[in-house]
């Protein structure tokens, strides 16, 4: 599967999910209720995105999306 197959909004949502999860996992996070709500909202957007109806292997595509968002986030942080 080619990385360019993922819509930009899906990659951005996964990156936001990763950032929110990291913020929640940090020692003594602030405003945990807001972070949990945001994580839930992003999870729903990721799970029900229309893109998943177009791929033959959804589990593999979800895994690749998570990997892409992690590496994309690492590049942005550098």
pLDDT at 25 exceeding the cut of 90:
yes
* Average per-residue pLDDT for the chain: 89
d(CA 2, CA 64) in angstroms, rounded, equals: 10
d(CA 8, CA 33) in angstroms, rounded, equals: 28
- Report the pLDDT averaged over residues 26-54: 96
Confidence of residue 5 (pLDDT cuts 50, 70, 90): confident
Give the pTM.
0.85
């Amino acid at each position: 599967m080619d990385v360019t197959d993922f819509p930009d909004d899906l990659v951005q949502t996964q990156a936001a999910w990763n950032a929110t999860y990291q913020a929640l996992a940090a020692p003594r996070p602030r405003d945990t209720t807001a972070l949990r709500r945001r994580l839930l909202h992003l999870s729903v957007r990721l799970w029900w995105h229309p893109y998943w109806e177009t791929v033959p292997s959804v589990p593999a595509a979800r895994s690749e999306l998570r990997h892409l968002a992690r590496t994309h986030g690492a590049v942005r942080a550098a």
